[in-house]
A = this chain, B = another copy of it.
Amino acid sequence: MNLNSDDTPISAAAIPADDFALMRTENLARWPTGADVDLDEAVEFHKSLPQEKQLGWVMRRAAEEGRCLTQPRGGFGTLELQLELMRALDQDGMADIVPTTTDSYTRNEQWEQAATGIEESKRQGRSMLNGFPMVNYGPKEARKLIEAINKPAIVLSGTAMPRLTCEVGFAAGFSGYLGSGIAYTTSYTKDTSIAEGIRNYQYLDRLAALYQEKGVELHRRQPGFLTGTNVPPCIAIAVGVLDALLAAGQGVKNYGLELAQTLHLIQDAAAIKVCGELAQEYLLAAGFEDMFTPVTSLHWMGAWPQDDAQSAALVSYGGTLAAVGGAVSVTTKSTHEAYGIPTPAANAEGLRTTRMAVYLARHIRLDDLPEFKAEVDLLRRETRPIIDKALEMGDGDAALGAVRALEAGALDIPWSPSRFVKSRVMPARDADGYLRIYDPGDMVFASDVAEIHTERLKKRAEVEGVAFDRNLAVKSVYEISEPLDKLLPFPWAAE
C-alpha cells in the first residue's frame, strides 16, 4: 500500500482516479472475498433498489419532510443471527434505518480470527463475536441482509481501518456507512496516527464518490460521538466540520453529522442547529456548494444506569431531545445498555419507546427561546475559533490542520485513548445541567467564552459545596449512571 503510507504527505485533496484504481486493486486482494466485489454490478444493484431502501434518498426526504427517523445499532456473529436481528429491528422495532455493526476482529482487520469466531458462534449456537464479520461473509452473502428488510441499511464499524469492509458493504447493497478519519481514529485507537486514519477514510469517501459518479448516491456519515464521554458540542461539531471537509474533498455529496446527546434539552437543540449551520458555512467557504449534511442525534453515549426503569427514561428522553432539536434521525440504545449488547427484543423496544417519544414531541421547537438563542450564540463563538485555528495550522488544508491541531492540543478530545491526542481537555456538567469545559487543556477559547464556562462550573461547585477541581469532571462521568437514590433522594428523609 505504498500509495498511502505515512511517508506520503497528507492532504485533503481528492485521490486521483488512477491512484485510486491501484489502491483498490491492492486493497481487494487482501482477503478472498475482495474478489467478489464488482463495482459495476453493485451500482446496478443499488439502482435496482426501491428509493425507500436507499439511505441517501431517505435522508434527503426525511430532511425535506422534517422527519426524525430512528436507527438502532446491532450486529451478531453469523449470517443467520444477523438476518434474524435485522428482521426484528425492521419489523418489531419499526427501525427506519437498519444497521449492521461489525465485530471487533473485523474492525481490526483480523479476518482469520473473525473466521474462528464464526465457527465458534455456529458451534455454540450463540454469538461469540460482538458484531457481524462482513468481510468474511463477503458481498454476495451479505446481500441477503439487504434483501431481508424493507428499509435502507447502514454499516456501523468503529475502526480506523474501514477499507475492505466498506468495499464489501457497498458491494453488498448497504447504502449507508458510518465512520470518519478524525472521529474514529481519536476514539478507537491508541497507536494509529491521525494521518493514517484520515487516509483510510479518504479511501472510503473516495469510494462513495465513485458510486456517486456512477449515479448512486450513498449516505456517508460522521460518528460525532467520539469517545462518547461528555464530549462538549463545540468539540464534536469542530471535528464533524473537519471530517465533512475531508469527505467533501473526495467528492461525497450526502454526508450526515452525528452528535451525542448532552441530555440537556436546550444545549442539544442548540448543538443540532449550530452543527448543521457551521457545516454548511465551512463547506461553502471551501467551495463545496452542494453537500447535503443532515444531523443525527445519538442517545446518551456515556455510562448508563444499572436500573432498567431509569434507563427507560434515557431512551425516551433521547427521542424527545432528537425531535425537539429537529434532528433528521436518532440513533437509539436500549434499557440493557449498562449490561451488554441488547437482545433483539430489548433493542426493538428501545426503538419503539424512542419512536413514541419522537411522536409526542414532534411539534415542539425552541428556536425563539432566549436561553436557546444565547446557547446557540455561545456555541458558535466556541466552535468557529477551533475550526479556524485547525485550518490555519494546516495552511488551509483540513487534513493537515486536523493532524497538527490535535498534536498541539488546539483541537482536543476528552478521554481519548490515542497517543496522538493530548486529551487534556476536561468537560464537566454545570449547575444548570449544561456540559461545560472545566479545563480547556491547550485549547484556546476567547476569554469571555472561557469565563462563562468557569463561572458556571464554579457556581456548581458552590451550590454543591464541593471544591472547584478535577473531581467535577470525574463526577460528571459517573453522574447519569448513578442510582436514583443518589441523584434525586427523597429530600427530607429521616436521619
Residues of A within 8 A of B (CB): 50-52, 58, 61-62, 65, 67, 94, 96, 150-151, 263-266, 305, 307-310, 312-317, 319-320, 324, 348-364, 366, 368-371, 432-433, 484-485, 487-494
Q: Give which listed residue, B150, B312, B348, B489, contacts A316 with CB less than 8 A.
A: B312
**Interfacial chain B residues near A309, Cβ < 8 Å:** 348-353, 356
Separation of A266 and B361 alpha carbons in the complex (Å): 10
Do residues A317 and B314 form an inter-chain contact, with CB atoms below 8 A?
A: no
Separation of A166 and B355 alpha carbons in the complex (Å): 43
Contacts A52-B494, A263-B360, A363-B432: A307 and B352 contacting too (C-beta < 8 A)? yes
A317 nearest in chain B by CB position: B360
**Interface residue SS majority, chain A:** helix
Do residues A359 and B52 form an inter-chain contact, with CB atoms below 8 A?
A: no
Separation of A316 and B311 alpha carbons in the complex (Å): 10
Q: Give which listed residue, B354, B369, B492, contacts A52 with CB less than 8 A.
A: B492
Do residues B490 and A357 form an inter-chain contact, with CB atoms below 8 A?
A: no
Q: Give which listed residue, B58, B151, B319, B432, contacts A313 with CB less than 8 A.
A: B319
Separation of A289 and B203 alpha carbons in the complex (Å): 74
Do residues B320 and A317 form an inter-chain contact, with CB atoms below 8 A?
A: yes
Do residues A51 and B485 form an inter-chain contact, with CB atoms below 8 A?
A: no
A-B CB contact pairs (8 Å), 11 listed? A61-B492, A265-B324, A310-B356, A312-B315, A312-B353, A314-B360, A316-B316, A355-B488, A356-B484, A356-B488, A369-B369
Min C-beta distance of A365 to chain B, whole Å:
8
Separation of A349 and B360 alpha carbons in the complex (Å): 21
Separation of A455 and B413 alpha carbons in the complex (Å): 51
Do residues B492 and A352 form an inter-chain contact, with CB atoms below 8 A?
A: no
**Interfacial chain B residues near A315, Cβ < 8 Å:** 312, 316
Do residues A67 and B308 form an inter-chain contact, with CB atoms below 8 A?
A: no
Do residues B357 and A317 form an inter-chain contact, with CB atoms below 8 A?
A: yes
Q: Give which listed residue, B58, B94, B307, contacts A484 with CB less than 8 A.
A: B94
**Interfacial chain B residues near A151, Cβ < 8 Å:** 490
A150 nearest in chain B by CB position: B494
Do residues A313 and B368 form an inter-chain contact, with CB atoms below 8 A?
A: no
